[in-house]
A and B are shown apart, each in its own frame.
Chain A
Amino acid sequence: MHLTCPLWVRRIPKIYRNNDPFYLRNLYLQFSFLFRGRSSRCFRLAEQRVIKAFQHMNAMRAVRKDRFKQLCDERIDAACAQHGIPGKMLIDGLGRMNIQLNRKMLQQLAIYEPYSFKSLTDLVKQYHSELGIVPPNAEPPAPVVTRGLLQSPIVPGNRKYYE
């Protein structure tokens, strides 16, 4: 749809119904500009297509959010798979370690900051290996001295950050 400032509102006011039919029909035809064929020229066809277009716009709002979320998950999964862990394990592991990165940021890191992302996967692998869980097909991470801080991060020095 070609939406100018007044059309942006995407509302067909009821006031147009009780007046000269020209105004309502003109409004529909403004909305149907750039549609295919006679739906952009004839009111009786345009009315149907415009109503359907509004329904599509409305329905797509929820669908769009879901699809971007799916895309996000796929990307994280693919990036993790390169380092040998499943995507869900990464998100769960980071949550357990109180590393508060949401999927949007993880996705951005995986694309633009691949070495940082790798270090996050290493952290998750280390956390799980300390608990005795070994992810299959994973290379063991470079040995890191954690002194048990991944499992119990609260020590007298940083207690105030966990309150």
Chain B
Amino acid sequence: RQMLPRVFLSQPLQNGVSRYTCQLKRITLKFCKFRPNSLGAREFIENGDFLEFARANPQVACYLKPRRNRPPVLQAEFANGSVQLARIDSFPAEFVRRWFWLMRGRSGDDLLPLHENLRSFHPSVQGVWTPFTFGRSVGLGDLSDSRHRPMSPSATELIQQLHRLQSARMS
């Protein structure tokens, strides 16, 4: 009961099947101009990596928000309306860069444990196994083995009962 719900791998509106649209719409980098934990964010901007990201991704609106005395944060907003925050407190500039490019690849869906890392709508080429795939070699179960017995005896069983009674009477 305490297991986290697992989901199947999916993309919003089957993104990527025929056409791919970048799901990231807006990315905001909030940082402080003075405090040391924003150093990585400041270096990321000054080295030109931020502009490089913005030019390489014209579909994403990139914002910078200098905020005094606040820890640095990356806020990414996606096409499905979800907002994801990444705390980049005391990160080196390279890590900030990697977070930017990671958000660019995300779909905005919640991060939940997956049943499987793969998903296919046609998992079987030869046909999924059934008890009849290799003939009826897999016993489908006689009714006598089954735990689910019908309420009234079948006609065969009635005749068998009569036969047993009769043979008992005769002997």
Contacts and interface: CB of A to CB of B under 8 A. Distances in A.
Interface residues of A, number: 21
Nearest to A83: B134
Contacts of B128: 111-112, 114
Interface in A47-72: 53, 56-57, 60, 64
B129 A1 contact: no
A97 interface: no
A56 B1 CA distance: 9
Contacts, number: 42
A117 to B, nearest CB: 8
Contact of B137 (A8, A53, A82): A82
A3 interface: yes
Contacts of A113: 124-126
Contacts of B140: none
B80 to A, nearest CB: 15
Contacts of A118: 134
Interface residues of B, number: 18
B58 interface: no
A80 B110 CA distance: 40
Given A82-B137, A82-B138, A1 B126 contact: no
Contacts of B129: 79, 110-112, 114
A112 B4 contact: no
Contacts of B13: none
Contact of A112 (B2, B84, B111, B126): B126
A23 interface: no
Contacts of B126: 112-116
A60 B3 contact: yes
Interface in B115-167: 123-129, 133-134, 137-138
B35 to A, nearest CB: 21
Contact of A114 (B3, B4, B127): B127
Interface of A: 1, 3, 5, 8, 53, 56-57, 60, 64, 79, 82-83, 108, 110-116, 118
Q: Considering the complex of A and B, which 3 residue pairs feature the smallest CB-CB distances, nearest first?
A: A112-B124, A114-B129, A56-B2
Given A56-B2, A108-B123, 13 more contacts: A3-B4, A53-B2, A57-B3, A79-B129, A82-B138, A111-B128, A111-B129, A112-B125, A112-B126, A114-B133, A114-B134, A115-B126, A118-B134
